[in-house]
Amino acid sequence: MKKITSMLIVFVLLLMVCTPITASMVYAENSTTGDVHDDRPDDADSVGGDQSTATTSISDEARTWANANNFDLTAFENYIAPAAHSPTSADISAFEHWMSGGSNPRNQVLKQIQSLTSEEIANELWNYCNTIWKGWMNTANVGSVVSQASGLKNVGAMQEGMFAGYFGSLIDSSNSQGEYSNAATLVKEGFVVSSDGVTYRLHNMIDGTIAYEMAAPKSATVSEDEFPNGLTSFTEFLPLEKQEVTTEAKDLLKQYALAGDFNEQSGVDREVYQAAAQYVNDTFGEYYGECPGPTVVKGIKALGIEFDSVTEDTVGSSVGEKEFVASYFGVDSAAASLWRLGFLPSFDGTTYRLHSGKEGTVVFEVSKDDLDSITDVATNTDTDDSNLPLPYIVGGVVLAVVLVTIIIVMVRKKKKQ
């Protein structure tokens, strides 16, 4: 019996070593953020809307890189807007081309500078220059007030696009699309743009006075009857309660990570496509209180993780919303499949995550470097025994067989005695 007892002890020790120990982690619910006191209603505010945080200095490392790579920081630091004046024909041409582009090259510019230096330095330079830019936007008074206490402005997507174009012109003055050069021309001449959806305006940056304006092109009205089949019932894929992560979801997250940048759908009616995207965004907000990007940002912040505005924007634009909409126009993708399973993917530059539920709760995460071993990464939910890795299951069975065999042998020996 002593031998049997000893063997049982050994078995238990082996089982403890070979069996994964899991623990569920409980995270505090993210508190709701109230109105940030801008000139929009509460429901138009979103996580990250308050851009009043200033980055007033940069590291010696970042400045050294900028100097060594002909990135002219003085274009921001020493910028002085000229006195209010009327635009030249060249200014008007740049204005018309810029407004007709209809895009914000922020992601394009950031990726370009990140390919030249580290992500940390790229973000540092962006935040530093953007702080200076926002100061001029406050002077021009073309953004909405973020905080009554600070008096700073919420520089929206249009103003960020101007900043991104000017920033990008310092990295690549030969940009073939002309996006950067048009923004650079206007900024150097002391102009900034705005739009109220009806009129495009060119403002003098020094005081915000209107120097030129033109009618914005009218968009065709798109009815929901023109949407692809099934799009208006997409909310059936968005559970208000979080889903437990599955092996299928993990595999899809890996596919999503390896797919790279998504190219917007081509060969379809752009008006219908854009209206469908807006519909999904708005309807998502009716259920969740905000659109997909801020929802996943909220989920990450609930873990106690903080990141700067650049990274927050990166997370917000990585949730696969475009892929999900494009799936109704015949484009299959891992991101769209994840949406249909009740998960939103996100990426912050280093970590891929799966979110689920109204609060954007993080139910799984894996670092970019660990994608190849994604099935071995622990999740933030209770582990489902049915999803245990095969080696653990095989090991447990083998140990059980060995134990039974030992007991049978010992019993037979005892009977013979």
| 61 Cβ contact list (under 8 Å, min separation 6) | 121
Mean pLDDT over each residue of the chain, to the nearest integer: 78
Averaged pLDDT for residues 174-196: 82
Average pLDDT for residues 7-24, to the nearest whole number?
A: 35
pTM for this prediction: 0.61
- Write down the pLDDT at residue 17: 35
pLDDT band at 408 (very low <50, low <70, confident <90, very high): low
Check residue 147 and give its pLDDT: 61
> For residues 1 and 160, what is the distance between their CA atoms, to the nearest angstrom?
78
Domain boundaries, the chain: 48-215, 224-368
Res 415: pLDDT:
57
Residues sharing a CB contact under 8 Å with residue 312, sequence separation 6 or more, in sequence order: 47, 48, 297
- Stretch 64-71: mean pLDDT, rounded? 94
264 vs 339, more confident: 339
Question: Quick one: pLDDT at residue 91?
Answer: 96
Between 35 and 356, the more confident residue is: 356
E-assigned strand segments in 257-359: 344-347, 351-356
201-255 tens-digit pLDDT:
999 999 889 999 999 887 778 888 889 999 999 988 888 888 999 999 999 999 9
- Asked if the model's pLDDT at residue 70 lies above 50, the reply is yes
Reply yes or no on whether the pLDDT at 34 is more than 80. Answer: no
Per-residue pLDDT, averaged over 279-294, amounts to 90
State mean pLDDT over 171-199. Answer: 81
pLDDT of residue 166: 94
* 111-166 confidence digits (pLDDT tens): 888 889 998 899 899 999 998 998 898 888 887 666 655 666 777 778 889 999 99
DSSP letters for 147-214: -TTT--EE--HHHHHHHHHHHHHHH-TT-TTSHHHHHHHHHHTTEEEEE-SSEEEEEETTT--EEEEE
**pLDDT 10s digits, 95-114:** 999 998 877 888 788 888 88
55, 120 contact by CB (below 8 A)? no
Instruction: State residue 164's pLDDT score.
Output: 92
| Res 311: pLDDT | 83
